[in-house]
Amino acid sequence: MFQSRPCIANYRGITGQPKRGVQSVGKSTQDWIQRVRARGRQLESLDDQSFRASAARCRDRIRVRDDAVVLDNTIESFALTGEALRRTTGMSYYDVQLCGGFVLAAGTIAEIQTGEGKTITTALPTVLHAWSGRGVHVATTNDYLSSRDHDELKPVYDMLGFSVGLLQPQGPVEEKIEAYACDITYGPGYEFGFDFLKDQLAIRSRHQTRLGERFLRSLQGIDSHEATPAQRGHAFAIIDEADSVLIDEATTPLILAGGKSSAATSPALYQFARRISLDLSEDDDYIIDPIKRTIRLTPDGWKRIHQRFDSRPPGQLARPWSQLIENALRAERILQCDVDYVVQEGQVMIVDPNTGRIHDERKWSSGLHQAVEAKEQVEMTDENETHARITRQRYIGFYDGVAGLTGTASDSESELREFYRLPVVRIETNKPCVRQHLPLRCFDSCRNKFDAIADDAAGRSRRGQPVLIGTGTIQESKLLSRRLSEQGISHVVLNGLQDDEEASIVRRAGVSGAVTVATNMAGRGTDIKPDAGALAAGGLHVAAASMHACQRVDRQLAGRAARQGDPGSCQFYAAADDELIQSRGPDLAAEMIASAGPTGECRKDFSVALRRIQRQAEADALVQRQRMVAHDDWMESVQSSLARRA
């Protein structure tokens, strides 16, 4: 698994506690911060030309000796970064941000609360490790955030003499090569992983292509970039929203697929399998596991589907007949439109359950995507052939050094340490957080829950308080939007269907009286700034329409309110027919219904029971990741053994 490398700074006194558990910052950092401040005051007196010369000397000193991690060089680098930030943006670092920079430079996960300026804090370790010229990868959760952070910090990097690139998902290989050649490269975490897999395929194809063939291709003028690796190495990675990238997204491996499978199932067979699946009965013919979201045929169901096997239309089967039926059942009974996927322009597009974003380039494997296309009656695409795969845990292990930051690392401290050898260090806030956490409200049905959310939002909006309503799915956002419209409440929706408008919607969400309905897209990285009228009315109010299976996601959503000492509030809602409660707590659902009053609101407090369900879901996800990593380790040992025998 992941091994720490010597390029990580190891400053004595960076933490003041034992190695296990969430750590706090040691007293030594206060002396270091004062040294950064003193050097920064000296740099302020320099003109731009002299300042750039100082930056060049720092670069040469570090590059020649390769000793960026020496404390004196770190202090010089931080001072230069702070002065470049001041000259280009007018902002200055708070002490807690400099403290976060030292923690990140030491190769740890810094728990920095939402609204504390994580974006500019990231620049400190980025610049420190970029001096070496080996390249720094800055990974975010999605392309919107990577583009935003790249654009915000590019003037700082330019002033210090660095080149900075941005990965465009599905961009041409020439642009990828150019982006990776830069001193600093921004991009979504998954994009770095997929590009690594593409590079491995390129290297493999280059080794398999005979010399004569390459010469002939060059004579014919055929572009040979397809066999050129884009990444030039894995020196240092800084991961924003590290718990999302390293844990939530790490439940499934990165799989690179493409091209038409050599053994594809004909579209008519998918349609035939769907028709048969609609005739089957739950419990008698198949069993649904709502927690694992899987379907298994019973012995009676297996017999029934094979009785109709001979009446199938002509065509090739790429997989067992029972798997075709189980895919059809899963498409019909488990996967939901506007929850797990959307249909746009005649295509089935997967919705990321962690971020709420739509990925038109992703497909389910093993014929499941085609089963969903048959369900939605859209043109069926070809099955892709899997070319390569890797777990995120293994990919991160290729880096010489890794650091990360997030506002919700403490809940995952043990997993971050076990899988990635990354300790968690908590950073204090610049100003005390004054967020008001209102009591959980529970209802007997989503309908009554939505009515209560709409009524509360209407009252707050009339008082001038902006409201952000967070939903778990696109479907939920549409239902809430309809309820708000029925009550005449003006609002906007951000649910993955308005990519081009995302930045402007986020900007307007803090306007006095504004009401915004958003999926998980607004739960991480979005900085909603309340205007003066909004602050006077109590600041941003966050209403969470449902509880997520992972409490960290709920904490991220609540963190949109009351940032940097501003006023704000949050409140969570739950209903007996919420998917989380239905799948994991049917007895709890019955109890909630029984305790409901005339308006459908429960008289009892179910917060403890709901938190218990969340912990169970988190534990199940951890087991899934552990099994995936164990399988990956076993596969690597088998491949290594075969390679030694060859």
Q: Can you spell out the DSSP letters for 293-330? A: TEEEE-HHHHHHHHHTGGGSPS---SS-HHHHHHHHHH
- The predicted-structure confidence for 608-641, as pLDDT tens digits, reads as follows 999 999 999 999 999 999 998 888 888 888 877 7
* Mean of pLDDT values over 214-230: 59
* Residue that wins the pLDDT comparison between 619 and 353: 619
Q: What's the CA gap between 26 and 32, in Å, rounded?
A: 11
**8 A C-beta contact, residue 33 and residue 98:** yes
Is residue 93 very low, low, confident or very high in pLDDT (cuts 50, 70, 90)?
Answer: very high
- pLDDT classification of 593: cutoffs 50, 70, 90: very high
Look at residue 360 in the predicted model and tell me its pLDDT: 86
- pLDDT tens per residue, range 172-211: 889 999 999 999 999 999 999 999 999 988 887 766 555 5
pLDDT score of 206: 66
The pLDDT of residue 309 is 87
Residues belonging to the binding site for ATP are 97, 115-119, 527
3-state secondary structure 625-642: HHHHHHHHHHHHHHHHHH
Which carries the bigger pLDDT value, residue 506 or residue 247? 247
Please name the amino acid found at residue 343. Answer: V
Q: How many CB atoms lie within 10 A of CB 27?
A: 8
| CA–CA separation, 526 and 7 (whole Å) | 32
Exposure letters 112-132 (e unless 16+ CB within 10 A, then b): bbbbbbbbbbbbbbbbbbbbb
Calpha distance 306→313 (Å, rounded): 14
Which of 65 and 225 is assigned the larger pLDDT?
Answer: 65
Query: How high is the pLDDT of residue 265?
Result: 77
Convert the pLDDT of each residue in 400-439 to its tens digit.
999 999 999 998 999 999 889 999 999 999 999 999 999 9
Q: Which residue, chain included where needed, has tokens 């013919």?
A: 285
Mean pLDDT, rounded, for 156-181: 94
What's the rounded Cα separation, in Å, for the pair 404 and 108? 6
Give the pTM. Answer: 0.89
Give residue 15's pLDDT.
Answer: 57
Nearest Cα to 574, choosing from 543, 619, 534, 618? 543
Give the chain's end-to-end CA distance (angstroms, integer).
25
The 10 Å Cβ neighbour count of residue 513 is 17
Instruction: Return the pLDDT at 67.
Output: 57
Secondary structure of residue 428 in the 3-state scheme: coil
Q: What pLDDT sits at residue 215?
A: 55
pLDDT of residue 5: 41
Q: pLDDT-based confidence at 260, cuts 50/70/90?
A: low
Helices assigned H by DSSP within 25-70: 28-44, 48-65
pLDDT value, residue 44: 98
pLDDT confidence of residue 503: 74
Q: 436-606 architecture in CATH? A: 3-Layer(aba) Sandwich (3.40)
Which pLDDT band holds residue 258 (cuts at 50, 70, 90)? confident
Predicted local confidence at residue 68, as pLDDT: 53
Report the pLDDT value the prediction gives residue 213, as an integer from 0 to 100: 58
Spell out the residues 6+ positions from residue 470 whose beta carbon is closer than 8 angstroms to its own. Answer: 518, 519, 520, 522, 523, 542, 543, 544, 545, 557, 560
Q: If you average pLDDT over every residue of the chain, what do you get?
A: 89
* pLDDT tens for each residue of 287-303: 999 999 999 999 999 99
Same fold, 266-382 and 436-606: no
Residue 385 confidence class, pLDDT cut points 50, 70, 90: confident
267-291 tens-digit pLDDT: 899 999 999 999 999 999 999 999 9
Please state the rounded mean pLDDT for residues 384-393.
Answer: 87
pLDDT of residue 216: 55
pLDDT, greater one: 455 or 383:
455
pLDDT tens-digit readout, 565-579: 999 999 999 999 999
Residues 6+ apart with CB under 8 A from 377: none
Options 3.90.1440.10, 3.40.50.2300, 3.40.50.140, 3.40.47.10; CATH for 266-382 is: 3.90.1440.10
CATH, domain range 23-256+392-426: 3.40.50.300
Residues within the annotated binding site? 97, 115-119, 527
For residues 496-507, average pLDDT: 75
Q: What is the pLDDT of residue 27?
A: 72
Of the candidates 611, 579, 574, 613, which has an alpha carbon nearest to the alpha carbon of residue 595? 574
Per the model's pLDDT, the better-predicted residue between 124 and 528 turns out to be 124
Least confident interval from 29-33, 121-125, 462-466 = 29-33
Angle at the Cα of 169 (from 163 to 175), degrees rounded to 5?
45
Percent of the chain with pLDDT over 90: 70
Give domain limits for the chain: 23-256+392-426, 266-382, 436-606
pLDDT score for 2: 46
**Which residues lie below 8 Å from residue 598, measured CB to CB, with a gap of 6+?**
none
